[in-house]
Structure 1
Amino acid sequence: MFGLHASTVRLDSVPALVVAAVLALLLVALVPWRWDAWKRRRTGRTVTVLLAVVGVALACGVTANRLGSFYPTLGSLIGSSPNPGEGTVAEIGENGVGLAAALPVLAARAAAGHGSTVHMTLHGARSDVLRDADVYLPAGYTDPAQAHVRYPVIEWLPGFPGEPREVAALFGVPDLIDAAIAAHRMPPAILIIPDINGEPRFGHDEECVDARHGVADDTYLTTDLRNWAMTALRVRPERSAWALSGWSSGGYCAMNLALRHPDLYSIAVSQSGYDITPDDIVTGDLFGGRADLTAANDVSRQLREHPVPLAILATAGSDETDEQAALGRIRAAATPPVRLDTLTFPGGGHNQVTVRAQLPALVNWLGQHMVGPCADAPAPRGVVVTDPPGVPARILPDPNTPGPTAG
């Protein structure tokens, strides 16, 4: 309507906050102003009081949304945004089929020393989940002289009710990684930002798990994403070249998925994350009351009972009570071969200003722990090359059928 798309209507801006506050004040003022002026006093008074309550609730909601960056646009709130590729330079279609056509755009940016972020939809072959994803490719990826180079991978998971745009456009993570690579604080790496919840986003928190008779988010974010990347991109296959990172629920997801799949990942970063899935109005009981599924998705319990060679960075603000409590449980549970680093930032809080201020420290930590790219080397004649010994897959309970299943 009027040339506006839902994705262009900002809900986290100062003008939106001012409009909501002024509207609330006007509606509140309308109550005493018209109190005795209505011809039908009972109806008029009831309507104006209800409107005032709605106006105040709306202003409070807009204020909380600005502090927490939950829904940056109207499109993200209603789950119907026509612009999921905000913050990217090209659309490459389902499963990246249009990447080759976008390479000239990427090459032009690479000539200026910049990597590029593209938007696609990723269809999981095993999970049958179809969602948006953003992919950052470093500047060297399009260089013909580096056509045989394979890159490490960072999966960056948004928080709830976020989406890839939250990470790419609002927090600017690809720009931070681009700058870190240019400054040699991080080796060149591919960044994949998947959608962890899908649409609709309102009241729809799936916590990156394979739910009991529900969506197979774990399978989508680990097996499906990795299998796609291995076939569509030049990525390193070793677990040492794969990292997970995220904020809030994305932080929980990063630690939980890395501990559940130690054969696939060697690094996890949690920014203001927690160690167990909530059971609240927007999440519910994801495991259908099954204790084995709950235990298999409890970060602290996994650290105690299934320690694996994994480097973890867990952070929280000093004022984040729940996150600090989770940090304490994680510290108490972590034992070798887990290597745990923790950071407590002054203040803190679930808002975009705080998240952006903390991100450079997280990117620098990742840069110190990531392996670099490597070139494919031809095998000597008559020699069969095998992967070096890795970490075996975990035996995990099946969410739909009682009993264990591998990986």
Structure 2
Amino acid sequence: MLGFHASTIRLDDTTAILITTGLAVALVALVPFRWDAWRRRRTGRTVTVLLAVVAVLVACGIAVNQLGGFYPTLGSLLGSSGNPGDGTVADIGEDGAGLNAALPVLAAHAAEGHGATLHLVLHGARSGLTRDADVYLPPGYTDPQQADVRYPVVEWLPGFPGEPREVAALFRVPDLVDAAIAAHRMPPTILIIPDTNGEPRFSHDQECVDANAGVADDTYLTTDLRAWATRALRVRPERAAWALAGWSSGGYCAMNLALRHPDLYGVALSQSGFDRTPDDVVTGDLFDHRADLVAANDVDALLRTHPAPVDILATAGADEPDEKAALGRIRTAVAPPVRLDTMVFPGGGHNQNAVRGQLPALVDWLGRHLPAPHTGTGPGPGVLVQPAPGVPPRVLPTPDPAPG
């Protein structure tokens, strides 16, 4: 209604610092200037001092935010989505029904040697969830001469608050994947970026799990998303051709989901991720004190009790004590047939600047662990292809259903 959205208000540029600093200086100067001039001195003094303190805190916060690279916009701080399709070239609608109509856009990008990222709304039949998602399709996907080619897949899971535009527009992961494919450091790969939390974002962190008597995020991100992709896109169905990746809570999600579903995924990448769900004011107790659900979503416990043939990369920054501690616990717990690589990046910190600096090395690692596309001999899009046999599905405890 006012013509702008919180996601359009930048917090990471010089203008924001100048405005907030100027306002803080003016309000601080107002305190002594009006100290004895207020008609109601107690009220006037109290209000001006409080305003000055708040302004100084906001200015300091904006400066620290720019140095640390935590939140680029007011929308990212509040967890709001002004444009869910930000960072994409076309909207293909409900369950990607408009994909064919977007093929000329994809072909135009492919003619320049690039893939393209599309936005859609995905309905989960098993989970009952409906959320936004972005899909990157590599160059060659629209080439009629490659109509039988099937591609490996990376599900790239955002960190909290969980919206796809963090990956597509803020960290520009599709661009990094595009460049890696062009440089032959990564095979042509389909990238799917789902919404891991839904709206409203800022008030709840769901950690990609099937919560007890709660939301079935695990089911949505694994069963529903994979079923849709296998029907709608030309993907390789084998577990070795499916990877999960993410930063922060998305990194925990990647490891946890891969170890819970080794029949579906062969690769997991955790960038500064944790090894278990937090129990804090934003997340809460997702498992309602059920010990079986806690253990079935604990990365360390899964590594010790249910190791599976999954290639995992887990990373942390040297200045991330909690993430380094989690990395140490993962190293202690890992056992064959899990294959674990670890990286500790110098400096860094849990912020977007560190993420950007580390991502090229992580994309290259993924490129070395994904198989190349191959010419499929089975049915094309529209027919659900079951994963090849090899690793049986795990028997997992069942959460209580959500009320109502």
For 2:25 and 2:394, the matched residues in 1 are separated by 57
Specify the code of the residue in structure 2 equivalent to 1:90. A
Q: Which residue of 2 aligns with 1:375?
A: 375
Deviation by residue 1:303-356 (Cα, 9 ceiling, x = unmatched): 011000000000001111000000000000001100000000001111211111
The 3 A distance-change label for structure 1 pair 61 and 290 is farther
Structure-2 separation of matches of 1:293 and 1:229? 28
Partner of 1:91: 91
**Structure 1 residues 85-142: Cα deviation after superposition (integer angstroms, max 9, x where no partner):** 1111101111111111110010011011000001111111111111111100000101
Q: CA deviation at 1:56?
A: 3.0
Opposite residue 33 of structure 2, the aligned amino acid is W
Alpha carbons 1:95, 1:122 under 8 Å: kept: yes
Please say if 1:160 is aligned against 2:160: yes
Tell me the CA shift for residue 28 of structure 1: 2.7
Partner of 2:126: 126
Higher mean C-alpha deviation, range 44-53 or range 292-301: 44-53
What's the CA shift for 1:3? 4.1
Corresponding residue for residue 320 of structure 2: 320
C-alpha change, 1:240 and 1:176, in structure 2 (3 Å) is: same
Q: Determine if contact 2:206/2:286 at 8 Å carries over to the other structure.
A: yes
Give the deviation of 1:79 after TM superposition. 5.1
Is the CA contact (8 Å cut-off) linking 1:67 and 1:350 kept in structure 2?
no
1:236 corresponding residue in structure 2: 236
**2:110 paired with 1:101:** no
Q: What SS is found at the alignment partner of 2:205?
A: coil
1:22 aligned residue: 22
CA 1:261–1:63: 2 relative to 1, 3 Å = farther
Q: Shift in Å at residue 17 of structure 1?
A: 3.0
Give 1:195's aligned amino acid. Answer: D
> 5+ residue gaps in structure 1?
380-384, 402-407
Contact 1:303–1:333 (8 Å) recurs in 2:
yes
Deviation at 1:6, TM superposition (A): 3.6
Show the counterpart of 1:392.
392
Q: Check conservation: 1:152, 1:372, Cα contact below 8 A.
A: yes
What TM-score results when the alignment is normalised by the length of structure 2?
A: 0.93
Could you tell me which amino acid in structure 2 is paired with residue 120 of structure 1? Answer: L
Q: What pairs with 1:396-407 in structure 2 (closer than 5 Å)?
A: 396-400=396-400
Aligned counterpart, 1:405: none
> Contact 1:76–1:201 at 8 Å: present in 2 too?
no
Contact 1:77 1:201 in 2 (8 A): no
Can you list the C-alpha shifts for 1:32-73, whole angstroms capped at 9, x where unaligned? 322222110111111112212322333344345445655433
Question: SS where residue 269 of structure 2 aligns?
Answer: strand
Distance 1:131 1:378 in 2: 30
Instruction: Describe the shift of the 1:73–1:271 C-alpha distance in structure 2 as closer, same or farther (beyond 3 A).
Output: same
284-293 or 357-366, which deviates more:
284-293
Partner Cα distance (2:168, 2:387) in 1: 33
Give the aligned residue type for 1:131.
R
For the residues of structure 2 that align with 1:66 and 1:210, how far apart are their CA atoms?
A: 36
SS of alignment partner, residue 270 of structure 2: strand
CA contact (8 A) 1:255 1:270 kept: yes
Partner-residue secondary structure (3-state), 2:396: strand
Q: 1:78 to 1:376 in 2, by over 3 A?
A: same
1:145 and 2:108 correspond: no
Q: Name the residue aligned to 1:8.
A: 8
Preserved CA contact (<8 Å) 1:137 1:189: yes
Q: Distance in 1 between matches of 2:287 and 2:3?
A: 44
Tell me what 2:189 maps to: 189
What is the percentage of aligned positions where both structures have the same residue? 74
Equivalent residue for 2:311?
Answer: 311
Q: For structure 2, which runs of at least 5 residues remain unmatched after alignment? A: 380-384
Return the alpha-carbon distance in structure 1 between the equivalents of residues 378 and 132 of structure 2. 36
Indicate how the Cα distance of structure 1 residues 20 and 155 shifts in structure 2: closer, same or farther if over 3 A, else same: same
RMSD: 1.9
Please name the residue that 1:49 is paired with.
49
Figure out how many residues of one structure are paired with residues of the other and give that number: 396
Structure 2 SS opposite 1:193:
strand
Deviation of 1:232 (Å): 0.8
- Partner residue in 1 for 2:382: none
Q: 1:344 aligned to 2:344? A: yes
Question: 1:378–1:156: structure 2 CA closer, same or farther, 3 Å change rule?
Answer: closer
Cα distance in 1 for partners of 2:214, 2:57 equals 33
Q: In 2, distance between residues paired with 1:21 and 1:378?
A: 63
Q: Normalising by the residue count of structure 1, what TM-score does the alignment of the two structures yield?
A: 0.93
In 1, distance between residues paired with 2:261 and 2:165?
26
Q: Is the 8 A contact 1:261 1:393 kept in 2?
A: yes
Distance 1:60 1:126, change over 3 A: farther
**8 Å contact from structure 1 (residues 315, 343) kept in 2:** yes
> Are the structure 2 counterparts of residues 108 and 15 from structure 1 closer, same or farther at C-alpha, using a change threshold of 3 Å?
same
Structural mapping, 1:168-187, within 5 Å: 168-187=168-187
The question of whether the paired residues in 1 share the 8 Å contact of 2:237 and 2:387 is answered with: no
Question: Structure 1 residues 108 and 160 mapped into 2: Cα distance closer, same or farther (>3 Å)?
Answer: same
Q: Deviations over 1:136-155 (max 9, x none)?
A: 00001010111111111000
Return the alpha-carbon distance in structure 2 between the equivalents of residues 41 and 167 of structure 1: 52
What is aligned with 2:364? 364
| Further displaced range: 309-318 or 153-162 | 153-162
Q: Kindly tell me: are residues 395 and 84 of structure 1, through their superposed partners in 2, closer, same or farther at Cα, counting changes over 3 Å?
A: same
Q: Partner amino acid for 2:194?
A: P
Letter in 2 for 1:199: E
Residue 297 of structure 1, CA deviation: 0.8
